[in-house]
Structure formats: structure tokens, C-alpha cells
Amino acid sequence: MQLTWYLAASAVIATTQASPHPAYQQQVLDTLVSPAPPSLASPNNEELRPEDVISKDPLLSFHRDLIKIESISGNEHAISNFLADFLREQNFTVVKQAVPPVKAKDVETDESYDEETDPNPRSNIYAYPNGHPDKPSVFLTSHIDTVPPFIPYSVRQPDTSSQHTDDLIIAGRGSVDAKASVAAQIFAALETLAANPSASLGLLFVVGEEIGGDGMKTFSRSTLNTEGTYHTVIFGEPTEAALVSGHKGMVGFEVYAHGKAAHSGYPWLGKSAVSAILPALTRRRRAPSSPKYGQTTLNVGVVRAGVATNVVPSEAWADVSVRLAAGTPEEARAIIREAVANVTADVEAEVVVDFSHHLEAYEPQDLDTDVPGFDVIPVNYGTDVPALQVKEGVKRYLYGPGTIFVAHGDNEALTVGELKDAVVGYKKLIAAALERETAGLV
Ligand SMILES: *[C@@H]1O[C@H](CO)[C@@H](O)[C@H](O)[C@H]1NC(C)=O
Ligand SMILES: *[C@@H]1O[C@H](CO)[C@@H](O)[C@H](O)[C@H]1NC(C)=O
């Protein structure tokens, strides 16, 4: 069944039996599997290798090819080319939107950047079906970068005795976050278009999600977005196939303490920056909570202080991130300033709270969940959702295969069944959006 619609949606592949299977056309060169894979219903009960199950299936082999291309944030050149070629072959018009290189350690980008002279430009991929207006009304979006390190693709039998191909486990960096969403969104769009060629669908795959969202921010500021006429955005991230009702907000800060060094045998001659900063980091704060998101949580991620065990430390520094359950970043900053001032009022060293390196802050993000047939959950992690400015009334959904609990781990993996189910889930979300349009509700 999948083969039928895949062929129907493809401009390049002639619909004759003689044409090569599209799955092979999409493979990267060094992985071409030569003979045709054995049939599932092999009469001599010959065991079907997991690799062959993948090769036979266009969705699974496309997903594999995405994972095989290393695309750690900053290095998305090869994967965006691959994706652009694939989508062109599927009869899409592809717009490559250049995103400046990642600077040093943060996401601040170089305004004078010239993509013409960059041999490996990073680009967002924006695509819509050939012959359609360039402003789709529903678009699906996910990200093509991954966290480090690269982990090679693999597929294996489950630990259980199951022989069902849906239980095969696909592993590798990006297998869940978010190449599963990318693959499932594309195939959901192709299936939808095969059944309804005039469906007004767009696809957006961005770089840099894992490092603060520079790809989505570039798109958000561009005319592709500001002049966009979409009424629905479907974000793809691992949500265990549930619709996400929202996620917490975020605000970050640094705390510095400046004291005075002295010999540790005569600590009264110095002012300890460590003693000064500790209360600010360990005291429980009056943090806002909400019924939907629970507690605001705080993570002291990095602490640096001192020079030697026999020296009273004159400098201490900590970098802290806060996941907001309620309120705005401004309100949170006011509470943080006041709380630090309260607990450091009588310490000797000078303590300063600094928000200037954490300008990227946002309040809790509420998302739409009005499509029946899904579990609904809130999540704790951040996404590109706040990086995309949308017009009033635009529906935003967040949905995708796989679980966040393995997403950045060395055990990142999902099952074949989860990946396939996500195609169905995305199609359901697309159909609901198109129905609202038909009913004049947008
Ligand atoms: C590709 O798009 C063009 C323009 O809309 C359309 O006429 C053609 O039928 C499409 N081809 C396939 C194979 O879908
Ligand atoms: C700071 O101290 C004042 C006075 O004790 C108290 O009312 C206030 O709630 C404290 N602020 C924070 C954020 O802890």
C-alpha cells in the first residue's frame, strides 16, 4: 500500500514495474544493497534480516538515510542538500534559506555573513508542492540538526521474542530527535497529497534547534513567515505520539561573586566568593507554579570558583537555567534579583546577578490539543515553538514519534511501529486542519 502512494506522489519515478524501487534511489552511495531483499512470506521460512525490512520500505529507508548523514548543529550542509534533492524528486518546490554559521559557543550569528562565499552553507529547507501557491495554509516543521556525538545507524531485533517487523528497533543519533519526525512528516504530506493533490501543505526543516533555534529564528524573521498565510503549524519532536498541551518557559542567569584572596590559614584577611555565592544557589526560591506545568525548576548547570585549596577564593561564578511553570521571563527575573539580594544581604563579597548572556527567554508555551484521538501531555523540554512568531489565531500542534527520555542519550532509538504510526498521526492532524479550512473556520 505504501508503495502505491509513494509512486503516485513521485514526479521522477515512472509508474512501471520496471523502474527501480524508490527506496534504493534514495540510498547514499556506500550503502546500496545489491540483490532484491527476500520476501516477507518467504516459503522456505528463511529469516528476514532487519536491514532488508528497512530497505524494502520507502519510509524506513528514507529515515535510515537521514540518520546516516551526520548533522550535528552547525554541520547541516550535507543533510539539507540531501533533503532538498529528495523533496524536488517528490515534486516539491524547494527554497533553501541560508542560515549564518554558528559562532563560537553561543548562537549569536554574524550579520555580515555572505553565503555565496561559504563552501558549506547551512540552510533551512522550505518546500511546497510544485504548481501550488508559495504560501501554504498548513505546514509541518521539524529540525534536521542533532546533538553530538554522532552515533551510527543500526537496526536490530527487539529483546523480546517478537518476530513482528513493527517491533524492530532502529537506533542511531537523530533516530528519534528529530529525524523520525522529519521522515514521518514528509511521508504524511506525500500520502495526503496523493489523495488530495490540491491540499495546501508546506514543509519547513530548520537547522540549529539544539543550540537555541537560530534556524527557526531566521525563518521567523523572513518574509516566508511574515508574509505567510498559514493557519496551522504542526511541530515535530518526540512526544511518544501524544499531542503536547504546552511546555514550560525558560529563563537563565549568571551569578558572580567578587571577594578578596588570602592565605587559607588567615581566612579573616580575605572575603570568600564561594561562601558568598552558595546561599544564592542553594536557597529555595518562591517560584511560581501552575496546575498545568507543576513547579518551576532550577538547574545550577556550571559553577567555577577558586584557584587552590589553600587560597580563600576571590572569584566565583555560576550559570543557572530556570524552567518556568508560570509567569513571564520579566517576572521571573524580578523574583531572582530579589531572592539573591535577600540571601546575600550580609555576605562580605559582592554578588551580582547578570541576565545579559541569557537574553533568549520565553514564557510557558500553550499549544493546541483540539484534535480528538490523541493522548494529551505537557512536557518539560524546550522546542522551536517559541522561536516561531505566529499571527493571532494560528493553531500550533506539537506531536511526534519516539520518547524524549532517550533523545539525547547514547541509547537513542525507536521502533518501526512507532515511526509508521507517526505518519498516521500527522495525517490525522493535517486532515483536521484542512477540514477546518473547508468548514470556513480559519
Ligand atoms: C507534479 O506537479 C505538477 C504541477 O502541479 C503536476 O502537474 C504533476 O502531475 C505532478 N507530478 C506528479 C507525479 O505528481
Ligand atoms: C525578600 O525578603 C522580603 C523581606 O523578608 C520578603 O518579603 C520577600 O518575599 C523576599 N523575596 C524573595 C524573592 O524571596
Give the per-residue pLDDT at 113: 75
Protein residue closest via CA to atom 4 of ligand 2: 342
Q: What are phi and psi of 268, to 5 degrees?
A: -65, -15
Q: Whose CA is nearest to atom 9 of ligand 1?
A: 11
Residue 365 in 3-state DSSP?
strand
- CA-nearest residue for atom 11, ligand 1, is 11
- Based on the fold, state whether residues 237 and 284 are members of the same structural domain: no
Contact 396, 138 (CB under 8 A): no
User: Looking at the structure, do residues 335 and 423 belong to the same domain, yes or no?
Assistant: no
User: What range does the domain containing 301 cover?
Assistant: 249-354
Ligand 2 binding pocket (C-beta < 6 A) is 286, 335, 338-339, 342
Which residue among 354, 373, 398 closes a domain? Answer: 354
The verdict on the CB of residue 42 being under 6 Å from ligand 1 is no
Q: How far is Cα of residue 374 from the mean position of the Cα atoms in its chain?
A: 20
Measure Cα distances from 85 to 25, 154, 314, 338 in Å. 11, 24, 57, 54
Q: Are residues 320 and 414 in the same domain?
A: no
The Å distance, Cα 339 to ligand 2 centre, comes to: 6
Q: For residue 427, tell me if it sits in a domain.
A: yes
| Mutation to probe ligand 2, out of 285, 342, 344, 353 (largest number of atoms < 8 A from CB) | 342
Alpha carbons 116 and 118: distance in angstroms, whole number: 6
Q: Which ligand 1 atom lies nearest to the CA of residue 131? A: 5
130 CB under 6 A from ligand 1? yes
Domain assignment present for residue 360? The answer is: no
CA 439-239-225 angle, to 5 degrees, is 55
Identify whether residues 229 and 334 lie together within a single domain.
no
Handedness of CA 77, 83, 89, 93 (dihedral sign): negative
Enzyme catalytic residues: 209
Task: State the ligand closest to the CA atom of 131.
Answer: 1
Predicted local confidence at residue 2, as pLDDT? 26
146 strand-pairing partners: 72
Report the pLDDT value the prediction gives residue 26, as an integer from 0 to 100: 37
**pLDDT at position 21:** 38
Give the total number of structural domains in the chain: 2
| Residue whose CA is at the smallest distance from ligand 1 atom 5 | 131
Are residues 218 and 230 located together in one domain of the fold? yes
Write the residue with the smallest CA distance to atom 3 of ligand 2: 342
10-residue mean pLDDT profile of the chain (442 residues): values are 29 32 37 39 62 96 98 97 98 96 61 77 97 94 97 94 92 98 98 97 97 94 94 97 95 96 94 94 80 90 95 96 93 93 90 91 95 93 92 96 94 98 98 94 86
Instruction: Compute φ and ψ for 4, nearest 5 degrees.
Output: -60, -50
Q: Are residues 149 and 209 in the same domain?
A: yes
Q: pLDDT value at position 285? A: 66
Residues across the chain:
442
Full DSSP string of 113-166: --GGG-SS-EEEEEEEETTS-SS-SEEEEEE--BPSSP---EEE--SSS---GG
Q: Are residues 330 and 277 in the same domain?
A: yes
Q: Is residue 196 part of a domain?
A: yes
What kind and span of H or E run contains 249? strand 249-258
Q: Is residue 46 located within the same domain as residue 181? A: yes
- The CATH number for 383's domain is 3.40.630.10
Return the pLDDT at 338. 92
Residue 121 counted as domain residue:
yes
Pocket flag, ligand 1, residue 11 (CB < 6 Å): yes
